[in-house]
Structure 1
Amino acid sequence: MATFKDIQLLRTTYLRGPSVWTYRPVLEVWLDLGELEDYPSNKIEGFTERLTTWLPGLIEHHCGVGHRGGFLERLTEGTWCGHVLEHTIIELLNMAGMPAEFGQTRSVSQHGVYRMVFRCPEESVAHVALRQGHGLIMAAINNQPFDVPAAVQAIKAEIENRYLGPSTASIVNAAATRRIPFVRLNDGNLVQLGYGAAQRRIWSTETDKTSAIGFGIAEDKDLSKQLLKACGVPVPDWELVKSADHAWEEADYMGLPVTVKPYNSNKGQGVGVNLTTEAEVRAAYDEARKLTRYVMVERHIPGHVHRLLVVGDKVVAASRGEYPEGRNNPRAKVVTVDCTDEVHPDVAYMAALSAKVVGLDIAGVDLVCQDIRQPLHTQGGAILEVNGGPGLLMHLKPSVGVSRPVGQAIVEHLFPATDGDTEGQAARIPVVGIAGTRHNAFIARLVGWLLQLSGKRTGVASSEGTFLEGRLTQKGDNTNWHAAHRLLVNRLAEAAVIQTTARSILEEGLAYDRCQVGVVTDLDGFEGLADHDVLEADQMTRVLRTQIDVVLSHGAGVLNADDAPAADLARLCDGQVLFYTQDPKHPLVVTHREGGGRAVVLNGSDVVLVHGTSERVLGTLEVLRPVNGFEPDTPALLAAIATAWALDITPDLIAAGIKTFDYQSL
């Protein structure tokens, strides 16, 4: 059989946010099929059989057919190899444990060239999956051997290297369920939930509410026991020791059995329990001493060791650890048994009190008792430790029992739910996105100024620079993902106004998942986008609709009624729509008003706010003029006014703000 040249990967672009393809991150790949353009899948001898043998899971791919086995039907009937590569990559990701769930392949104007995308939340994982998928499909096409398990393992290795740990992931997933946006702040488990001043930060199960003092106290087992004992919490007798002789002396004085552990033990490291002989005590001391300067001897409390997870002021999960018979190593747990529903209220109270005494908002409280269903004082139970940054895996995946929604509890702790909050409002600041080509920097800066006057510290990213609280922080064209991202991670920003361009959407995606107000002034500019195969004006709708697609349901789209393609985007907006126009009798606006809609209309020289049948004159163009005699573009001024009104800024403040706006000052 013929040997085909490799499919060429012309370029790859990782789109980090909402784009022309989807709301979530994707890798876009431009492919040149070369001679394979003339060889769909059904014309390559043995190709389908080899591919489905290596990837039997392809039968689950519905493709556009809409049912199980749909993609295999396309494969048998004949589909192009770019499409096959898309499904190959998706299946490899599925096999590696990271379902991709989305992919598309579309031809471009150049013969044999396609744009293929697939969803992947981590760029490096996407590139590994692309490389392995490309190798696999070419091997299948040319009847060459290919190591599928090795390919899957390579993707798994990158997933393990880049993905969040299970505790952090459970919190992030719970946040996503509530539509709270998240931003990874490093390559590890430091994550920002929400935007700007509304954000909260987590680092695994530590939060920005977690006290550094409390965490330090929790690590010092001697100090934490002193505080717990002083507050009436039952703790076992203990003593700090400085030598193996001293350890045995205290153990003998307390009475065997005892526990020996580092005074700042963590995750059971260096801990010996239920020690009954001098030799065991001395050996345990030597092990503990390897990890710390000070060692603690503690009276052994008979019973089962339990871990209670405290979030805020309540216990949200409990797990019982069962150890191998005769083992003295608490890290050698065989099973974790969920016992959340069995915890006695008095036990839960003591656990929550212990976390509060130490000073932790999230804590893993270790205690020993015979029966978690009974109060501690009735059975000689005791609190052993209070731990900061507790792992959640034992509660998410107990060996026995049901998984507990601990990530959800932590998100609720950080962002208490309110009735009607279906879009993560508690974690959001007002974000205004502005797209188009007509005086958008002026619009962005004026809206930022009006938001600032309304009492919100506002950041603006525009083609003229980035501003925070009216101060220029970075000069130059900042209509890009990185500039917008900098505003959204800034804890001072109580509102953000972000100017974007069609090119930025095509090459980076939006920096935010949703916005309160989306503005589109026009759909001009296709002439400069030929490198993205945007060759006609009509194609701009697919690009700039992205700005309107992300408007929140309680937000608004602001559209230029005098630009028909821009006005037509109203049908795509999940929120309200505000039009602006220089024609008071514009048919679209008249119809919009009849339906109770809002618009900003120029009637003669009067700028009028209309809402259904009501009207309010904001002022004349002569009066509504920024300082220093600057004469703004009239449609741009109307757009800014409509945007401010959509943000519920009062008309009086809008009028006063325009008159005090110094656009020419940088």
Structure 2
Amino acid sequence: MWLDLGELEDYPSNKIEGFTERLTTWLPGLIEHHCGVGHRGGFLERLTEGTWCGHVLEHTIIELLNMAGMPAEFGQTRSVSQHGVYRMVFRCPEESVAHVALRQGHGLIMAAINNQPFDVPAAVQAIKAEIENRYLGPSTASIVNAAATRRIPFVRLNDGNLVQLGYGAAQRRIWSTETDKTSAIGFGIAEDKDLSKQLLKACGVPVPDWELVKSADHAWEEADYMGLPVTVKPYNSNKGQGVGVNLTTEAEVRAAYDEARKLTRYVMVERHIPGHVHRLLVVGDKVVAASRGEYPEGRNNPRAKVVTVDCTDEVHPDVAYMAALSAKVVGLDIAGVDLVCQDIRQPLHTQGGAILEVNGGPGLLMHLKPSVGVSRPVGQAIVEHLFPATDGDTEGQAARIPVVGIAGTRHNAFIARLVGWLLQLSGKRTGVASSEGTFLEGRLTQKGDNTHWHAAHRLLVNRLAEAAVIQTTARSILEEGLAYDRCQVGVVTDLDGFEGLADHDVLEADQMTRVLRTQIDVVLSHGAGVLNADDAPAADLARLCDGQVLFYTQDPKHPLVVTHREGGGRAVVLNGRDVVLVHGTSERVLGTLEVLRPVNGFEPDTPALLAAIATAWALDITPDLIAAGIKTFDYQSL
């Protein structure tokens, strides 16, 4: 954000009477802020010596976030060319929470400046309320956090727990613990306790005897026939709603029937199996966690507070097999299998144990935070189920599509569309967002300038897109940021255009490096940066690239490219009229400028053509396909 201190520019913290005392009384945790001093109490030293209020606001917001339970550490405040104006940033995962923290922090600092009262607990509660309103549930969060550990990007698709992991055609979707692999039929079967029990029994899975009943009289009749105790529950309930367990009298059975009937048309009477109730989490085809529920003595209400005890390491292989089989029979890729037995370390059939039910969309909290025992990496297991890890996948490659980001001002729409065409010819359904519109498979889907965040975002959430080429601008980077976290290829043609960015305090050409370096900063380590060697500021970005670098130049003897080649690097060079692909000491003539010309007689800008060729080569498109693709590219057709 931008901060205009106005007359406060002449009043650092040590010149405002009582300011530091009021601030530190309200926020005693500020003593833990090291600030630039580098040790505990460092920020308090800055306050005492005198620091400007923009810097103080930064630390105030960070401390309020910490007090609200959201650890926040990073912040930075820097002056701009205009007197008394600053740019301040702080890190917060949710924008709406950041806005609330900003409002509360601003109110607090103004109260401290003007010696007015301020309700700190109310401010913290306001931030907490927004966190609770916006943040993912514990099950979804554990999966997203596990994905982040593997550097798999995620996109929140609604205000709830619908999340996309990965980009384009490589994405998977989760909704809490349901995934896009979860069968709707399987989920429906799991909710129908009668049908699911029939299927489980038919496959040899031990289940309790049960009957569907239509009246309290019928319920008692079946309970009396089975023999007490029994369990009475809705035939399609979940999370223990309307369930009565260990019922030993006619009155209890009739009362339990009435409760269950409130929730469902049919009610189930089930033989009570003595023992402990266990929840086994099945992901894919294996049990990844197990928890035992223990109720307080004398309680038969399943909604009473349960002590959960992790017992994952105790599960007998035969029990694990039956649980995984049950999930398969019902048709769920992720399931919470409830079973009852005396000893989870023994097979079910030796102790009269049984599978009670199979649940879709199981909660993970009992496995993440058991009352007794260790937390289990269940989120990691689900991510592994969705994206099986492979050797060398350190950057979430399994969840990514090739993303090409193009920044600069020189014929970048042509570069974007030609690269998109070449990717399409290589067999990838490709989306292109450019200043000439958004294209999918070569078809125009949105007209106009699409060099903004939303256009790029639309490509990344499109499940048809197997590759994405995204043109961006310095202004879009400054105002919106990039829609993607990393890209396979980042292209910078030039660092021109500072004249139009005065409103962002970009007043000199040298300042453009700090803006457009972003496009190279996000290149994956197995990707490449494509840079214009004939533009010195653009070429200098090579030092910031995590991947390899490909230069393009119209000067075959360019000193930078010569040195690059000596180190085994790649470049696309114009030698006379020949376009040459060079790799170390090897050279291959792709064709002449006269031959490498799109259809309809269009003559592309030569540096732009070289940039597109270098980008395609960085994407491992073969030289023959590059040459053929250029000749068939119809740039002037929309």
Q: Which range, TM-score by smaller chain?
A: over 0.9
Shift of 1:67: 2.3
TM-score, normalization: structure 2?
Answer: 0.99
The corresponding residue for 2:301 is 329
Shift of 1:145: 1.3
State how many pairs are aligned: 638
Q: CA deviation at 1:333?
A: 2.9
Q: Which moved more, 1:62-71 or 1:415-424?
A: 62-71
**Equivalent position SS for 1:628:** coil
Note if contact 1:228-1:235 (Cα within 8 Å) is conserved in structure 2: yes
> SS at 1:72's partner residue?
helix
Structure 1 residue 343: deviation in Å?
A: 0.7
Q: 1:322–1:333: 8 Å Cα contact kept in structure 2?
A: no
Q: Which deviates the most, 339-348 or 170-179?
A: 339-348
Kept in 2: contact 1:321–1:333 (CA 8 A):
no
Question: Displacement, 1:122?
Answer: 1.3
Secondary structure at 2:21's aligned position in 1? helix
CA shift at 1:54, angstroms? 1.3
SS at 1:416 equivalent: coil
| In 1: Cα distance, 2:48 partner to 2:292 partner | 54
Tell me, what secondary structure is at the counterpart of 1:301?
coil
The offset of 1:137, in angstroms, is: 0.8
Q: Distance in 2 between matches of 1:604 and 1:367?
A: 77
Distance 1:533 1:147 in 2: 36
* 1:359 CA displacement: 0.4
Which of 168, 173, 182 is residue 196 of structure 1 equivalent to?
A: 168
CA shift, 1:472, in A, is: 0.5
CA contact (8 A) 1:363 1:387 kept: yes
- Preserved contact between residue 435 and residue 544 of structure 1 (Cα < 8 Å): yes
CA distance in 2 between partners of 1:556 and 1:94 (Å): 38
Taking only the aligned residue pairs, the percentage that are identical comes to 100
The superposition leaves residues 241-277 of structure 1 with CA deviations (integer Å, 9 ceiling, x where unpaired) of 0011110010000000000000011100000000000
How much does 1:65 deviate?
Answer: 2.0
Does 1:427 pair with 2:405? no
Pairwise CA distance, 1:68? 2.2
Compare 520-529 and 322-331 and name the one that shifted more.
322-331
Determine the C-alpha separation between the residues in 1 that align with 2:242 and 2:255.
11
Determine the C-alpha separation between the residues in 2 that align with 1:104 and 1:650.
45
SS at match of 2:126: helix
The whole-number CA distance in structure 2 between the counterparts of 1:68 and 1:211 is: 53
Q: Which residue of 2 aligns with 1:147?
A: 119
Deviations 1:343-393 (A, max 9, x none): 111111111010010000000000001111111111111000100000000
Select which of 533, 542, 548 maps to 2:514: 542
Post-superposition Cα deviations, 1:272-319, rounded to whole Å, max 9, x if no partner, equal 000000110011011001111110000000111100000001100001
Instruction: Report the Cα offset of residue 331 of structure 1.
Output: 1.8
**Equivalent residue for 1:49?**
21
Distance 1:259 1:156 in 2: 41
Q: Distance in 1 between matches of 2:616 and 2:624?
A: 11
User: How much has 1:324 moved relative to structure 2?
Assistant: 1.7
Whole-Å Cα distance in 2 between the matches of residues 589 and 212 of structure 1? 57
1: CA distance, partners of 2:286 / 2:492: 47
**1:120 counterpart SS class:** coil
For residues 184 and 101 of structure 1, the distance between their equivalents in structure 2, rounded to whole angstroms, comes to 24
Equivalent pair of 1:245/1:282 in contact (CA under 8 Å): yes
SS at match of 1:191: strand
C-alpha distance in structure 1 between counterparts of 2:43 and 2:331, whole Å: 56
Q: What residue in structure 2 maps to residue 593 of structure 1?
A: 565
> Any idea what the Cα deviations from partners look like across 1:96-145, whole Å, max 9, x if unmatched?
11122311111111111111111112111111100000011111122211
Between the aligned partners of 1:244 and 1:513, the Cα distance in structure 2 is 59
Q: Report SS of the residue matched to 1:629.
A: coil
Q: Which residue of 1 aligns with 2:549?
A: 577
Is the 8 Å Cα contact of residues 444 and 497 (structure 1) preserved in structure 2?
yes
**Separation in 2, partners of 1:155, 1:165:** 17
Matches of 1:629 and 1:552, distance apart in 2: 37
* Deviates most, 225-234 or 68-77: 68-77
**Residues 523, 565 of structure 1: 8 Å contact kept:** yes
Q: Distance in 1 between matches of 2:181 and 2:499?
A: 51
Query: Which moves more between the two structures, 102-111 or 418-427?
Result: 102-111
* Counterparts of 1:66 and 1:174, CA distance in 2: 31
> 1:594 Cα shift?
0.5
- CA shift, 1:45, in A, is 1.7
User: Structure 1: how far apart are the matches of 2:232 and 2:73?
Assistant: 50
For 2:634 and 2:329, how far apart are their aligned partners in 1? Answer: 53
User: Is the counterpart of residue 318 in structure 1 residue 281 in structure 2?
Assistant: no
Structure 1 stretches of 4+ with a deviation exceeding 4 A read none
Q: Deviation per CA, 1:16-35: give whole Å up to 9, x if none.
A: xxxxxxxxxxxxx1111111
Q: 1:231 aligns with which of 194, 203, 211?
A: 203
The Cα shift of 1:496 comes to 0.2
Aligned to 2:429: 457
Q: Report which stretch shifted further, 556-565 or 102-111.
A: 102-111
How far is the alpha carbon of 1:66 from its aligned partner? 2.3
SS of 2:600's partner is helix
Check conservation: 1:218, 1:388, Cα contact below 8 A. Answer: yes
Query: How far has the Cα of 1:59 moved from its partner?
Result: 1.8
State the Cα deviation string for residues 411-452 of structure 1 (Å, max 9, x = none).
000000111100000000000000000000000000000000
Report how far residue 95 of structure 1 moved.
1.0
1:42 shift after superposition: 1.5
Give 1:517 deviation, angstroms: 0.1
Give the SS at the match of 2:503: helix
SS in 1 for 2:352: coil
Provide the aligned C-alpha RMSD in A: 0.7
Match of 2:84 among 100, 103, 112: 112
